[in-house]
Structure 1
Amino acid sequence: MPKLYDCDISGSCYKIRLFLNILGVAYDAVAVDFVNKEHKTSPYLALNPFGEIPIFEDGELRLRDAQAILVYVAGKYDKTRQWFPEDATSQGKIAQWLSTGGGEVMNAAAARLVKVLSYPLDLEKLHAGANRVFKIMDDHLAHRQFLELDRPTIADIACFPYTALAGEGGIDLSAYKNVLAWIERIKRLPGFIPMPGIPVAA
């Protein structure tokens, strides 16, 4: 059975929990104390020298990075290939949003660390970066339901958690109506599960 090194308040770990649940994949969860930096201790650095979670193990395979794990899980466990199709065009379109989910959207994640855990980061810069990417996403979603392919893919899973958690970082999403509508669509997907800070659809 796959194993996920997990933390309930981590949006990056939640991406994997959410996707596994949508696909109906059973797994073992190993709780990691992120607040007290357990992921920076020697046992976890032996698993991932970058000192980050999630970590995903499946048989002899061990993966780090939420976006890489999403690609693997889609490839192995989504028999329909809806979430990460095999054609190069679809993969390229989705991959650009995987990069965004692990890149620019993480400004909102870092802002949340400042607000919730008092990390010493430049909050003004993080807010500017987050608002820039949310404006781009809002414009992109003006005439579509999901980020690519007119259906949910791992692109949406990659970008969803820290967008939905933006308020915890002091970022107001009220100006981004298309993003807010997209968040609600994700919450209504079969197999959706909540996390602290992301409730089920109203």
Structure 2
Amino acid sequence: MKLYHHPLSGHSHRAQLFCSLLGLEVDLVELDLANGAHKAPDYLQLNRLGQVPLLDDDGTLVPDSNAILVYLAKKAGRTDWLPEDPAGAAAVQRWLSIAAGQIAFGPAAARLVTVFGARFDAEEVISRAHAILKVLDSELQDRDWLAASRPTVADIALYSYVARAPEGNVDLAPYGHVLAWLERIEALPGFVPFQATPVGLAAAS
């Protein structure tokens, strides 16, 4: 099993993290994004969108980080991580949509400005980040995990970009429930950290 990734990509990290939490052996293949390795013809044959991560499971190609989480949980038969009952599955799907929506256009986008020089309106994306963090903090006020009484792929899908939000000048200090949730994820057996970058608010810590 191979995982094409980049160490500063939160999408890549969530896939790597879940592999580790499941105890799966995976060969990490780092792509040099700065020099366009993800747009090279041979890689585009594997993933037409030219994005990371990409999972190659003995010839079964799975692009998209959230799809990788679902694939791995299904293949391993881990209904603890991906519930199959209607309400449980819907609860997880809600957060996967938020990971691809509000998280991507909030804390992830804010971090893209400082880490990769993306030309987003910093004030706008930071505002979006705080909006979803307020919701997240409220949701975690009365429970430990997002979609169930235990960790699921929903938690893994949100972790990386929320954990590194300060790199995009998004202060996590006001969100005590979010900070406690991050610590719970980091305490899980098999946890692997997301590579830190000393930019934004993280530069002063």
Stretches of structure 2 that go unaligned for 5 or more consecutive residues are 198-205
Q: Equivalents in 1 of 2:157, 2:101: separation in Å?
A: 10
Counterpart-to-counterpart distance in 1, 2:196 and 2:117: 17
SS in structure 2 at match of 1:196: coil
Q: Summarize the alignment of residues 1-202 of structure 1 with structure 2, pairs less than 5 Å apart.
A: 2-77=1-76, 79-106=77-104, 107-197=106-196
RMSD: 1.3
Deviation at 1:52, TM superposition (A): 1.0
State the alpha-carbon separation in 2 of the partners of residues 36 and 145 from structure 1: 41
Contact 2:160 2:194 in 1 (8 A): no
> Which SS does the other structure have where 1:39 is aligned?
helix
Q: Displacement of 1:119 after TM fit? A: 1.6
Aligned residues: 196
Q: C-alpha separation between the residues in 1 aligned to 2:178 and 2:33? A: 28
Q: CA deviation at 1:45?
A: 1.9
Whole-angstrom distance in 2 between the partners of 1:88 and 1:59: 31
What residue identity is the alignment partner of 1:190?
Answer: P
SS in 1 for 2:83: coil
Deviations 1:81-115 (A, max 9, x none): 21002212111100110111122111211211111
Moved more, 62-71 or 105-114: 105-114
Give unpaired runs (5+ residues) of structure 1.
Answer: none
Cα deviation, residue 41, structure 1? 2.5
Tell me how far 1:22 sits from its aligned partner: 0.7
Counterparts of 1:156 and 1:192 in 2: how far apart (Å)? Answer: 13
For normalisation by structure 2, the TM-score amounts to 0.91
Q: Can you list the C-alpha shifts for 1:127-179, whole angstroms capped at 9, x where unaligned? A: 11111111110000000001011110000000000000100001001111111
C-alpha distance in 1, partners of 2:10/2:157? 9
Query: What SS does structure 2 have at the residue aligned with 1:35?
Result: helix
Over 4 Å off, 4+ runs:
none
Q: Distance in 1 between matches of 2:168 and 2:40?
A: 26
3-state DSSP of counterpart to 2:140: helix
Is the CA contact 2:145–2:151 (under 8 Å) kept in the aligned structure 1? yes
For residues 80 and 68 of structure 1, what CA distance do their matches in structure 2 show? 15
Percent identity, aligned pairs only, is 41
Q: Distance in 1 between matches of 2:181 and 2:90?
A: 21
Name the SS for the 1:147 alignment partner. Answer: coil
AA aligned to 2:38 is: H
Q: Cα distance 1:32–1:137, how it changes in 2: closer, same or farther (>3 A)?
A: same
- Code of the residue aligned with 2:164 in structure 1: it is L
